[in-house]
Structure 1
Amino acid sequence: MAAELEGKVAVVTGAASGIGLASTDALIAAGARVVLVDRDETALTSVCSVRGDAAIPLVIDLLDPVACATLVPQVIGLVGQIDILHANAGTYVGGELVDSDPAAIDRMLNLNVNVVMKNVHDVLPHMIARGTGDILVTSSLAAHFPTPWEPVYASSKWAINCFVQTVRRQVFKHGIRVGSVSPGPVISALLSDWPEEKLREAKESGSLIEADEVAQVLIFMLTRQRGLTIRDVVMMPTNFDL
């Protein structure tokens, strides 16, 4: 697998931790150079310092519209091309809707939906001009099942599921593949909002996924022959339905 993505340049958003960092490591292991995008400069500097020249840090607060618009131009300036965009940055709001903070709802919808759409919009002209590219989005099992304890989060992922499927139909004629990976609960910072009792039950029952397991699915999607698109992979722990 070490050379499957040799010569490719990938951009991963939300790359300093969780699925984004696991994706970065898997891409580097497959031979790609990776531009890690995150707003946490300290964490980004730390993770890049131990990953060598294949890891290129780029500090951007994607919730700042002006900064968000600089993502693609900055990456092109740094490395000259974008072969892979992994739109991974996201956040989580769970619990009863009536108890949710409206500001937190706005922030989550902005990051989970608007930023993803803008990042994809901005990279498409570059990929269309080159006649090739892969766009992968971190979605969620919540995009496929109306999860009752997370109506806001699930709604954002349902929107992204529709976005992935419709954009894919628009751009496959340009040699661009678009897909998403939809994991169940992943051991990451996004679970910090879960009630302690629910998190403990999930861990004890084996109902959580490791971030590197998601990353390996992403590599599988990226390394299929160009005539095959893996549109969406739904991942769940075997015990999740218990």
Structure 2
Amino acid sequence: MSVSLDGKIAVITGAASGIGLATTEKLLAAGATVVMVDRNEKALDELVARLGPRAVAQVTDLLDFDSCNAMVPEILQKVDHIDILYCNAGTYIGGDLVDTDPATIDRMLNLNVNAVMKNVHAVVPHMSERKTGDIIVTCSIAGHFPAYWEPIYTSSKWAITCFVQTMRRQMIPHGVRVGQVSPGPVVSALLADWPEENLRKAKEAGALIDPEEVADAVEYMLTRKRTVTIRDMIVLPTAFDRV
């Protein structure tokens, strides 16, 4: 059974591009107001002008301690409440461990893991008080098996899988649903460091999906009746044969 998102207020991180933008457009079309969180102020300004009055810009740098901590309080000065938090922002490191550096590792773990935990920590009291809410996190198929070609990224997504599924259990008594969407490779900026030949072959083989496919999955999760939780939705390109 599908329920309406009309009038709901959603917050989406990493909303200026990729999965975040596709999900913003999907939820706006369903009647929701969407607070678009991103560090790219120029892109946000252009997007909210195009998307209309139910798209609200929130400039936040999730890698900046103070900016990240201020995100939820600043949003609650712009909207009455938060029905949905979709923690989507993230980054990617592929390849062998020895081919990266400590600063890059720190940045990825801070964005993929720490920022998610801090955003959820900030919104939980608000949702618990209201006895309702939805929290969804973009995980990855890499959070379900040891992807040896991307050990740092995979480790971050295993951490997020654990965090989401423990928080799901914690929040049941408070009326807040918590779940994750786990895509396979998506056509997005996260694949910018893929070798061009690998990217070309993956596209030609149909081993990549578009961000809109993930947005569809998120909408499906959010539109289930309150007695149903989609704890994890794995969305794969049909030709993806690595798992």
TM-score (norm 1): 0.98
> How much has 1:96 moved relative to structure 2?
1.1
Query: Aligned partners of 1:88 and 1:67: how far apart in 2?
Result: 17
> How much has 1:84 moved relative to structure 2?
0.1
> Is 1:61 paired with 2:92?
no
Query: Aligned partners of 1:93 and 1:60: how far apart in 2?
Result: 22
Unaligned runs of 5+ in 1: none
TM alignment of 1:39-188, pairs within 5 A:
39-188=39-188
Task: Report how many residues are paired.
Answer: 241
Query: Aligned partners of 1:22 and 1:64: how far apart in 2?
Result: 25
Query: Aligned partners of 1:92 and 1:103: how far apart in 2?
Result: 13
Give me the CA root mean square deviation.
1.2
Code of the residue aligned with 2:31 in structure 1: it is G
> How much has 1:148 moved relative to structure 2?
1.6
> Is 1:230 paired with 2:230?
yes
Query: Aligned partners of 1:6 and 1:74: how far apart in 2?
Result: 23
Query: Aligned partners of 1:199 and 1:149: how far apart in 2?
Result: 15
SS in structure 2 at match of 1:37:
strand
Which residue of the partner structure matches residue 206 of structure 2?
206
Code of the residue aligned with 1:187 in structure 2: it is V
SS in structure 2 at match of 1:162:
helix
> How much has 1:126 moved relative to structure 2?
0.2
Query: Aligned partners of 2:102 and 2:94: how far apart in 1?
Result: 12
Query: Aligned partners of 2:43 and 2:209: how far apart in 1?
Result: 23
Which residue of the partner structure matches residue 25 of structure 1?
25
Q: Percent of pairs identical after alignment?
A: 63
> How much has 1:147 moved relative to structure 2?
1.2
Which residue of the partner structure matches residue 196 of structure 2?
196
> How much has 1:48 moved relative to structure 2?
1.2
> How much has 1:145 moved relative to structure 2?
1.7
TM-score (norm 2): 0.97
SS in structure 2 at match of 1:53:
coil
Unaligned runs of 5+ in 2: none
> How much has 1:182 moved relative to structure 2?
0.2
> How much has 1:204 moved relative to structure 2?
1.0
SS in structure 2 at match of 1:203:
helix
Query: Aligned partners of 1:217 and 1:134: how far apart in 2?
Result: 14
